[in-house]
A and B are shown apart, each in its own frame.
Chain A
Amino acid sequence: MSSNSASNATILLMGLRRGGKSSICKVVFHNMQPLDTLYLESTSKPTTEQFSSLIDLSVMELPGQLNYFEPNYDSERLFSSVGALVYVIDSQDEYLNALTNLSMIIEYAYQVNPRIHIEVLIHKVDGLSEDYRMDAQREIMQRVGDELLDLGLEGVQVSFYLTSIFDHSIYEAFSRIVQKLVPELPSLENMLDNLVQHSSVDKVFLFDVNSKIYVATDSTPVDIQTYEVCAEFIDITIDLDDLYVEDEKQQSSNSVRSKKRELRSISNLSNGSILYLRQMIRGLVLVALIRNDEIVNDVSLESLITVIDYNVNNFKKSLVKMWQNARIDHPTNH
Chain B
Amino acid sequence: MSQTRKKLLLMGRSGSGKSSMRSIIFSNYSAFDTRRLGATIDVEHSHMKFLGNMTLNLWDCGGQDAFMDSYFTTQKDHIFKMVQVLIHVFDVESKSINKDIEIFVKSLTNLQKYSPGAKVFVLLHKMDLVQIDKREELISLMMDKLQKISNPFCFKLVGLPTSIWDESLYKAWSQIVCSLIPNMNLYNSNLLKFNQILDAEEIILFEKTTFLVISSTASIANSLRSSRKPLESSGAGAQSANDDSNAIDTTSLDPKRFEKISNIIKTYKQSVSKLRANFTSLVINGSNGTHFYIDKLTDNMLVMIVLKEKDDDSSSSVASHEDSLILENIKAARKWFEKIETSK
Decide whether A and B assemble into one complex. yes
The 9 nearest A-B residue pairs measured at CB: A265-B284, A269-B277, A271-B277, A241-B286, A232-B271, A267-B282, A270-B278, A264-B285, A256-B311
Residue A198 at the B interface, CB < 8 A? no
Report A-chain residues with C-beta under 8 Å of the C-beta of B284.
Answer: 237, 240-241, 263-265
* Contact among A240, A268, A279, A289 for B281, CB-based, below 8 A: A268
* Contact among A229, A244, A245 for B274, CB-based, below 8 A: A229
Give the interface centre of B257, B267, B268, B311 by most chain A CB atoms within 10 Å: B268
Q: Are A244 and B286 in contact (CB under 8 A)?
A: yes
Shortest Cβ distance from residue A39 to the other chain B in the assembled complex, whole angstroms: 16
Q: Are A267 and B271 in contact (CB under 8 A)?
A: no
Q: How large is the interface on A (under 10, 10 to 19, 20 to 34, 35 or more residues)?
A: 35 or more
Residue B276 at the A interface, CB < 8 A? yes
Within B251-307, the residues touching A (CB, 8 Å) are 252-254, 257, 260-261, 264-265, 267-268, 271-272, 274-290, 292, 306
Residue B342 at the A interface, CB < 8 A? no
Q: Are A233 and B271 in contact (CB under 8 A)?
A: yes
A257 to B308, alpha carbons, bound, how many Å? Answer: 10
A2 to B260, alpha carbons, bound, how many Å? Answer: 44
Residue A228 at the B interface, CB < 8 A? yes
Report B-chain residues with C-beta under 8 Å of the C-beta of A289.
Answer: 275
Report B-chain residues with C-beta under 8 Å of the C-beta of A264.
Answer: 284-285
Residue A131 at the B interface, CB < 8 A? no
Question: Which residue of chain A has the shortest Cβ distance to B285 in the bound complex?
Answer: A264
* Given A250-B252, A256-B311, CB of A240 within 8 Å of CB of B287: no
Q: Are B271 and A241 in contact (CB under 8 A)?
A: no
Residue B207 at the A interface, CB < 8 A? no
Q: Are A241 and B290 in contact (CB under 8 A)?
A: yes
Q: Are A267 and B286 in contact (CB under 8 A)?
A: no
Give the interface centre of B261, B280, B282 by most chain A CB atoms within 10 Å: B282
Residue A247 at the B interface, CB < 8 A? yes
Report A-chain residues with C-beta under 8 Å of the C-beta of B285.
Answer: 261-265
Report B-chain residues with C-beta under 8 Å of the C-beta of A257.
Answer: 288-289, 311
Given A225-B274, A263-B286, A269-B280, 15 further pairs, Cβ under 8 A: A233-B268, A233-B271, A236-B265, A240-B284, A241-B287, A241-B288, A244-B290, A244-B306, A261-B288, A266-B282, A267-B272, A268-B281, A269-B278, A270-B279, A289-B275
Q: Are A254 and B279 in contact (CB under 8 A)?
A: no
Give the interface centre of B254, B272, B311 by most chain A CB atoms within 10 Å: B272
Report A-chain residues with C-beta under 8 Å of the C-beta of B267.
Answer: 232, 235-236
Shortest Cβ distance from residue B171 to the other chain A in the assembled complex, whole angstroms: 15
Interface residue ranges, A against B (CB under 8 Å): 225-226, 228-229, 232-233, 235-237, 239-241, 243-247, 250, 254, 256-257, 260-271, 273, 275, 279, 289, 302
A123 to B50, alpha carbons, bound, how many Å? Answer: 45
Q: Are B261 and A243 in contact (CB under 8 A)?
A: yes
Q: How large is the interface on B (under 10, 10 to 19, 20 to 34, 35 or more residues)?
A: 35 or more
Q: List 12 A-B contacts (CB under 8 A).
A: A235-B267, A240-B261, A243-B254, A244-B201, A245-B288, A257-B289, A260-B287, A265-B283, A268-B281, A269-B277, A270-B278, A289-B275
A263 to B281, alpha carbons, bound, how many Å? Answer: 17
Shortest Cβ distance from residue B303 to the other chain A in the assembled complex, whole angstroms: 14
A263 to B286, alpha carbons, bound, how many Å? Answer: 5
* Contact among A239, A261, A262 for B264, CB-based, below 8 A: A239
Shortest Cβ distance from residue A245 to the other chain B in the assembled complex, whole angstroms: 6
Report A-chain residues with C-beta under 8 Å of the C-beta of B253.
Answer: 243-244, 246
Report A-chain residues with C-beta under 8 Å of the C-beta of B254.
Answer: 243
Residue B324 at the A interface, CB < 8 A? yes
Q: Are A236 and B271 in contact (CB under 8 A)?
A: yes
A121 to B296, alpha carbons, bound, how many Å? Answer: 44
Question: Which residue of chain A has the shortest Cβ distance to B323 in the bound complex?
Answer: A266
Report B-chain residues with C-beta under 8 Å of the C-beta of A270.
Answer: 277-280
Q: Are A271 and B283 in contact (CB under 8 A)?
A: no
Question: Which residue of chain A has the shortest Cβ distance to B274 in the bound complex?
Answer: A225
Report B-chain residues with C-beta under 8 Å of the C-beta of A226.
Answer: 275
Question: Which residue of chain B has the shortest Cβ distance to A228 in the bound complex?
Answer: B274
Q: Are A261 and B280 in contact (CB under 8 A)?
A: no
Question: Which residue of chain B has the shortest Cβ distance to A250 in the bound complex?
Answer: B252
Question: Which residue of chain A has the shortest Cβ distance to B270 in the bound complex?
Answer: A232
Shortest Cβ distance from residue A247 to the other chain B in the assembled complex, whole angstroms: 5
Question: Which residue of chain B has the shortest Cβ distance to A279 in the bound complex?
Answer: B287
* Given A236-B264, A247-B252, A254-B311, CB of A225 within 8 Å of CB of B281: no
* Contact among B201, B276, B283, B287 for A266, CB-based, below 8 A: B283
A57 to B217, alpha carbons, bound, how many Å? Answer: 45
A260 to B290, alpha carbons, bound, how many Å? Answer: 11
Question: Which residue of chain A has the shortest Cβ distance to B331 in the bound complex?
Answer: A298
Shortest Cβ distance from residue B302 to the other chain A in the assembled complex, whole angstroms: 13
Shortest Cβ distance from residue A166 to the other chain B in the assembled complex, whole angstroms: 11
